[in-house]
Amino acid sequence: MAITARQRSGWTVANIIVALYVLIPVVWILSLSLKDPSTFTDGHYFPRKFTFENYVNIFKVGGFGRPLINSIGIGLISTLIAIVIGTFAAYAIARLEFPGKRLMLGGSLLIAMFPQVSLVTPLFQIERSLGLFNTWIGLIIPYITFTLPLTIYTLSAFLREIPWELEKAAKMDGATPFQAFRQVIAPLAMPGVVTTAILAFILCWNDFLFAISLTSSNSARTAPAAIAFFTGASQFEDPTGSISAAAIVITIPIIIFVLIFQRRIVSGLTSGAVKG
Amino acid sequence: MAEIVLDKVTKKFADGTVAVDSFNLDIADQEFVILVGPSGCGKSTTLNMIAGLEDISDGELRIDGKRVNEVAPRDRDIAMVFQSYALYPHMTVRENIGFPLKLAKVDKATMKQKVDEAAQILDLTPYLDRKPGALSGGQRQRVAMGRAIVRSPKAFLMDEPLSNLDAKLRVQMRTSISRIQKRLGTTTVYVTHDQTEAMTLGDRIVIMRAGLIQQVGSPQELYERPVNLFVAGFIGSPSMNFVPGTIAENAVDTVLGKIPLTERIRRSLEGHKDVPRDVIIGIRPEAFEDASLVDGGRGEGVTFTSQVDIVESMGSEKFAYFSLENAHVDSEHLAEIERDTGSEEIGAAQLVTELDARSPVREGRALEVWFDPDSIHVFEPHSGVNLTAGK
């Protein structure tokens, strides 16, 4: 079916509307972060007086560097561990028949659906008595717990797409089970692993609830929680500029992360493996 | 090069179903053996047990005299070609073919030489740097073959390797598989559900049904002396005609007329105890001829005249189809073949005859066909045993 010029222009208009809808708030917050504190309420969408003072302030005065490092560190470690455990679990679920398989899938789904708010208080008590409160590990453990269902689900869907016969073929060709996994299955599962890793990382990166409840100082506080503790230069001043600047800053690592890995997300990699 | 012995090999699944029941077969070195049967007969399971991809529940599998039941697939030194080809999509053709050698830690120079050699045998040299995704079905099939032959294994196992190809390519590849097997002299076990493939490729054919071996023999043997209704109906294209018959003094009464029992048939019937009066008569389409084209010896033959329904001209011969009244054969043995092929022709009240191309047969006209009464098979209707198969 050929796309007519009319259809094409229709789609273009629709795309522009969606893009504007999504981008206007982003541009707005970018503009706020670049405005001079005295001109916040001047009512202009674009700043008249550009300044980077807000960005300098959040690092110099607000001490935003440490939370940013916490965020990156905790996010990466949680993602890595969740992906490793999740890949193994998903592989077992996709390939093996074992008792309790449905229970395991059901259980992980249950964890994903459980309201996190109801867990915060018990977690707070548990972590305090175990001495995990306000530490990296204290955040990494719950993050792994809540990203695992996601990784197991998406990865097992990806792995199920890989024809099982490839593994049998590898076995016949003389591969040990690990060689078959490492040289045949893993390369084919890579796009799935990368996609899942990005999702898991974003999930950890964006978390606010655990970050604010299970930390008390900058030693483990992540960026989203740290933003909540921003104060203005004086008690009469709103920290709008700092918040906007910090919001822009925490968007940047996600963009970098996605840009690096999107090359690895190649769809249709399994084409040609088996017929039909 | 190896000899493979299956000694009462049995596969029982966890849910209790027996997929393969006490399978006995000695496969000689360099032999090309075909396992054939309708879907679900256990032929692929048998192959997977030889490969080591399925555990053997009971019995013993010996390769070159050594028990290999517990040996992992990678240590059995057997190569397998899968129905889906199972090529590694992220590797080039060269890497695909060389994969078994890479795992065996063969040095680079030898690997290159062996891959080039295999590629040459299979006409794959121009495609060595492509990925499987950029190849046609026939080329992919050849890459799968290449991966099997490159390391000169003890045996090849092939699981319906041609069923994904179109008809013309299938015939072509059939010949080249046969040629490669002869050239390399590697013991081969080949699974198919296509009886034509089985007949043309194999040194020996094993016909299976519901986990049991029905008959083992050369293509000619199975064609000429099928041991039961199932084998008779399965082998041959078009299938053998079956009509009910009643044995009377020295003849069988059928819708085709009274067929006299020849000396050979009478003697083989005498060899069986309790031959029932009601039997099933089987006659191959090839046994018929247009009566007007038979000159000598016509007196000994039986003729049958009826209106021709359909004529199919193949150029070299003609197939004439007749409808028969009250001649439906209701047999569980044939019903299974029908279910598998989806056809309703076998056992249906119709007669297929293969006539000489010179026959002036026309649709809608009456035709007299002739057949030799010695060419009939007499089956016991319940057990399906061929009473005339001889020893």
Q: What is the pLDDT of residues B319-357, one digit of tens each?
A: 999 988 877 787 888 888 877 776 666 666 789 999 999
Given a cut of 50, is residue A276 above it in pLDDT? no
pTM: 0.79
Q: Is the pLDDT of residue B94 over 60?
A: yes
As a whole number of angstroms, the distance between CA A175 and CA B91 comes to 16
Look-up of token digits 């300044």: A51
Q: B194 and B263 share a domain?
A: no
Chain B residues close to A184, C-beta within 8 Å: 88
Q: Is the pLDDT of residue A200 over 80?
A: yes
Within-domain flag for B317: yes
| B199-226: average pLDDT | 93
Percentage of chain B exceeding pLDDT 90: 62
In a domain, B153, yes or no: yes
C-alpha span between B89 and A169 (Å, rounded): 12
- With 0-12 CB in 10 A as exposed, 13-18 as middle and 19+ as buried, what is A3? exposed
Residue B140 touches partner A, C-beta closer than 8 Å? yes
By residue range, what is the domain housing residue B253?
Answer: 240-379
CA-based end-to-end distance of chain A = 24
CATH number at residue B192: 3.40.50.300
CB nearest A275 (choices: B73, B80, B85): B85
- Domain total in chain B: 2
Q: What is the mean pLDDT of residues B30-52?
A: 93
Binned at pLDDT 50, 70 and 90, residue B105 comes out as very high
| Phi, psi for residue A153 in degrees, rounded to 5 | -65, -50
pLDDT score for A157: 86
Predicted confidence (pLDDT) at residue A233 exceeds the cutoff of 90: no
Reference B240, options B337, B326, B357, B364; nearest CA is B337
**For position A268, what pLDDT does the model report?**
44
Section A24-43 average pLDDT:
85
Interchain proximity B103–A165, CB inside 8 Å: no
Based on the domain organization, do B206 and B254 belong to the same domain? no
Q: Is B100 on the interface with A (CB under 8 A)?
A: yes
- The number of residues making up chain B comes to 391
Q: What is the pLDDT of residues A44-61, one digit of tens each?
A: 888 888 888 888 888 888
pLDDT at A272 over 60: no
Q: Span B355-384, mean pLDDT?
A: 90
Nearest to B86 among A163, A174, A276 (CB): A163
Domain shared by B159 and B205, yes or no: yes
Which are the contacts of B266, defined by CB distance < 8 A and separation ≥ 6? B250
Q: How far is CA B15 from CA B8, B11, B40, in A?
A: 21, 12, 16
Contacts of A274 in chain B (CB under 8 A): 82, 84-87
Residue-wise pLDDT tens digits, A66-115: 999 999 999 999 999 999 999 989 988 888 888 888 888 888 888 888 88
Structural domain spans, chain A: 5-51, 65-262
**B98 interfacial to chain A (CB closer than 8 Å):** no
Q: Does B106 touch chain A (CB under 8 A)?
A: no
Which residue of chain A has the CA closest to B85?
A274
Provide the CATH topology of domain A65-262: MetI-like fold (1.10.3720)
**Within-domain flag for B163:** yes
Dihedral sign from CA coordinates of A248, A249, A250, A255: positive
Same domain, yes or no, for B180 and B300?
Answer: no
Q: Which helix (H) or strand (E) holds A200?
A: helix A186-206
| Measured distance CA(B201)–CA(B189) in Å, rounded | 11
pLDDT in tens, A157-182: 888 888 888 999 999 999 998 899 88
Q: Which of B156, B191, B224 is the last residue of a domain?
A: B224
Q: Are residues B210 and B302 in the same domain?
A: no
Amino acid at A52: F
Cα separation, B34 vs B300, whole angstroms: 38
Query: Which chain B residue shows the shortest CA-CA distance from A271?
Result: B133
- Asked if residues A175 and B103 have their Cβ atoms less than 8 Å apart, the reply is yes
> ipTM score here?
0.81
Over range B286-294, report the average pLDDT. Answer: 89
Residue B257 has what pLDDT? 87
In a mutational test of the A interface, the residue from B15, B87, B152 whose CB has the highest number of chain A CBs within 10 Å is: B87
Left if phi > 0, otherwise alpha if psi is -120 to 50, otherwise beta: which for B151? alpha
3-state SS of A128-141? Answer: HHHCCCCCHHHHHH
When CB atoms are compared, the residue of A188, A271, A273 closest to B86 is A273
CB atoms within 10 A of CB B329: 23
**Contact B90/A269, CB-based, under 8 Å?**
yes
Q: What is the pLDDT of residue A267?
A: 52
